[in-house]
Structure formats: structure tokens, C-alpha cells
């Protein structure tokens, strides 16, 4: 059997905001504060040396190597130890980190002011690298691209820096950050939106879709009612749905691959539910949420993916990102009588 094995025994920074929101929405403020402080310790230092993942006690050296004598799950090869993605440029993590700190202030977590000097340093560095190609939220190996979700999260980073100054009295070069925020917004709308398909796309100049586009309304880049977002959600519903679940990669790309890439991605199915909550389509959101809950095992645990052909969970199990998304979507649906949680609005 052909397949892929990745070492997931690490903590990804991009999951930081999802985790923090899940903890705070559920009333676990002490745990949220501890998570915030872990992040601050892990990323302290030069922003140019910040990694996208760390060991659970903050280890930075995550060298990847292969163990050819070991069989993977059902014979999948190669078996990898370590993860080379730790050295990739993934621009979205800057936005996720800035959003973590912003959401912590909104929730009035009692942390010190030492994070602001780090935040300013992050934005100074991001101002120099935001327009570079990167490996994207899905950690693609090979040449970088200008991924739309990565660019949108750089917009988030500057937006949250501006909010820190305007809403919480922090000091910083607000006018420069506004200039960069507006430039990124124009850049994404001009180069990352396919007018013929009426949809945002995976990367600049591409015709492919990508489920990470579902995060655009959640982070506040554009409201859920904006025609560009409506068109994107419609396109994802048409092209990225497999038996009621969302694929994170475009089927056109999957079909062109030398081997099947994966099944449906459960967290992305829940992100689509969140987008529908924001758009006011609660029935569709509930259907998507229920479909994910229905494939959990007898202990209520969920994996990374779901194979809609053989009807079983696949990929990493249990998967933290899936459970975090499940918690946040449950809160969004249950709180639907008031505005759904939108990170860009706080």
C-alpha cells in the first residue's frame, strides 16, 4: 500500500487561536492564560528565526529523517521521524499569533505587557516578508507560492496590531500598519480572486480551490455577506464536497497526483459550518456539524480525515485540530441568536 506518514508529535502555532478560542468560549480562562504564556515563551527571540511548530516543551530542533525498516500504518511508506516543515516559511502563523494576543486582550486575560514588544517585532519583520511566496497553511513541499490564505493572515496580523493601539492603548506605527493592511487587502482581491469563477482561489494565478479560504470571513477579511465570499462558499460547496464532507484540496489537483492525497478533512467541514453560521444559514451549518459528530468513534473521538469511500476515519487519530474545530463550531451554532464568533470583529 502506498501512502504518507508525518510526525505530528508537535505543537503548531497556527492552531493557537483555535485552541485559545475553544478554551475561552468554554470558560477555561486559567488554561487559556497558561496556553498564552506557553506561546510567548516558545516564540521569544528573533522573529526571523520563529518556527511554525515546536516540541511540547518548546524544542526547536525537529530534524526529519526516515526509518525505511519500519512499516507504517497498513504498510504505508516512508515512516518519518521529525518534521521538516518546522523550517518552512508559513506566513499565516504571524497572523495567528497576533490574533492570539488580541483575543487574549479582548477576554481580559491577566498577562503582562512583555508580549507587546514581541508583537511589534513580529510586525516589523512581517512588513519585510509578507509579499514573499511561502509553503502555505497545508505545508506544501517544493517551490513556494503566493497562497491566498497566507496573505490574508498577514492582513490579520497588521489589523490586530492596529486594534491593539486603537482599542487597548498600545503604541506603534499605526499609519504604516494601516498602509500595509490596505495594500495587502488590495493585493489579495486583485490577484487571488478569479472573476470568471467568482471565487477566491488557492494561490495567485491559480484556478484551484482550497478549503483554507473558508477562514476568510471568520478572520474578518471580508464579511460573510460580501459577494466575493458568497461566491467562494458556493464554489467550495460545488467542487470540494465529497459525500457531505469537505476536501481541503481541489479534486482537480488530487486527480493529477501520483497517488491519492487523502480523504475529506474534518476540520475543514467544520470551517464550512462556521462560514454558514456567519452567513445566516444555520440549517446547513447544523447538517455539516452533525455529519462530523456522526463519524466519531464510540468514545466520541475524531481523526484528521474521513474516507468517504470505505467510510472510516483516517489520518492522525485522535486529531486535536478536529476536536478544537468541533468545540468552536458547537459554540457558534448554539450562540447563533447573537452574532456568531468572528475574530475580525473583536
Query: Is 1-191 CATH 3.40.220.10?
Result: no
Mean pLDDT, residues 47-65 taken together:
79
Has domain 193-346 been given CATH number 1.20.1250.20? no
* Over residues 207-234, mean pLDDT: 95
Residue of higher predicted confidence among 197 and 3: 197
The CA distance from 266 to 240, in Å, is 12
Average pLDDT over residues 310-323: 86
pLDDT band at 148 (very low <50, low <70, confident <90, very high): very high
Compute the distance between CA of residue 326 and CA of residue 224 in angstroms, rounded to an integer: 20
pLDDT of 259 reads 44
Confidence band, pLDDT 50/70/90 cuts, at residue 176: very high
Predicted pLDDT at 158: 97
Please give the average per-residue pLDDT across 170-174, as a whole number.
Answer: 94
Mean pLDDT in residue range 186-215:
95
Q: Decide if pLDDT at 25 tops 90.
A: no
Q: What local confidence, expressed as pLDDT, does residue 143 receive?
A: 86
In the chain, where the domains are located: 1-191, 193-346
Going by pLDDT thresholds of 50, 70 and 90, the confidence category of residue 299 is very high
Residue 219 has pLDDT above 70, yes or no: yes
**Rounded Cα gap, residues 269 and 285, in angstroms:** 10
85, 93 Cβ separation under 8 angstroms: no
pLDDT at position 24: 87
Phi first, then psi: give them for residue 277, nearest 5 degrees. -60, -45
Each residue of 78-118: pLDDT tens digit? 888 888 778 777 899 999 989 988 988 888 887 777 788 88
pLDDT value of residue 315: 80
Supply the pTM of this predicted model: 0.89
pLDDT score of 141: 81
Q: pLDDT of 244-259, one tens digit each?
A: 999 988 887 655 444 4
CB 130 within 8 A of CB 154: yes
- Number of residues assigned to the chain: 346
How far apart, in whole angstroms, are the C-alpha atoms of residue 240 and residue 80? 29
Amino acid at each position: 500500500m502506498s501512502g504518507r506518514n508525518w510526525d505530528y508529535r508537535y505543537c503548531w502555532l497556527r492552531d493557537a487561536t483555535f485552541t485559545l478560542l475553544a478554551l475561552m468560549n468554554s470558560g477555561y480562562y486559567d488554561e487559556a492564560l497558561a496556553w498564552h504564556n506557553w506561546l510567548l515563551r516558545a516564540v521569544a527571540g528573533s522573529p526571523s528565526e520563529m518556527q511554525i511548530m515546536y516540541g511540547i516543551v518548546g524544542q526547536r530542533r525537529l530534524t526529519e529523517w526516515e526509518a525505511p525498516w519500519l512499516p507504517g500504518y497498513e504498510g504505508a511508506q516512508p515512516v518519518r521521524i521529525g518534521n521538516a516543515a518546522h523550517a518552512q516559511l508559513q506566513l499565516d502563523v504571524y497572523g495567528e499569533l497576533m490574533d492570539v494576543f488580541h483575543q487574549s486582550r479582548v477576554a481580559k486575560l491577566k498577562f503582562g505587557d512583555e508580549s507587546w514588544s514581541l508583537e511589534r517585532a513580529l510586525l516589523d519583520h512581517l512588513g519585510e516578508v509578507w509579499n514573499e511566496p511561502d509553503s502555505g497553511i497545508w505545508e506544501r513541499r517544493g517551490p513556494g507560492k503566493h497562497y491566498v490564505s497566507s496573505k490574508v493572515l498577514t492582513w490579520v496580523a497588521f489589523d490586530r496590531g492596529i486594534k491593539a493601539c486603537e482599542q487597548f492603548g498600545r503604541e506603534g506605527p499605526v499609519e504604516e500598519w494601516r498602509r500595509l493592511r490596505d495594500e495587502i487587502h488590495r493585493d489579495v482581491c486583485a490577484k487571488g480572486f478569479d472573476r470568471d469563477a467568482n471565487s477566491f482561489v488557492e494561490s495567485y494565478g491559480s484556478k484551484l480551490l482550497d478549503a483554507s479560504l473558508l477562514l476568510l470571513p471568520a478572520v474578518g477579511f471580508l464579511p460573510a455577506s460580501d459577494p466575493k465570499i458568497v461566491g467562494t462558499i458556493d464554489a467550495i460547496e460545488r467542487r470540494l464536497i465529497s459525500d457531505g464532507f469537505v476536501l481541503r484540496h481541489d479534486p482537480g489537483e488530487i486527480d493529477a497526483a501520483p497517488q491519492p492525497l487523502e480523504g475529506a478533512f474534518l476540520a475543514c467541514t467544520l470551517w464550512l459550518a462556521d462560514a454558514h453560521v456567519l452567513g445566516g444559514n444555520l440549517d446547513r451549518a447544523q447538517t455539516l456539524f452533525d455529519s462530523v459528530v456522526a463519524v466519531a468513534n464510540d468514545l466520541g473521538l475524531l481523526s484528521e480525515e474521513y474516507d468517504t469511500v470505505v467510510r472510516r476515519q483516517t489520518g492522525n487519530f485522535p486529531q486535536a485540530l478536529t476536536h478544537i474545530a468541533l468545540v468552536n463550531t458547537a459554540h457558534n451554532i448554539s450562540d447563533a441568536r447573537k452574532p456568531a464568533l468572528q475574530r475580525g470583529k473583536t
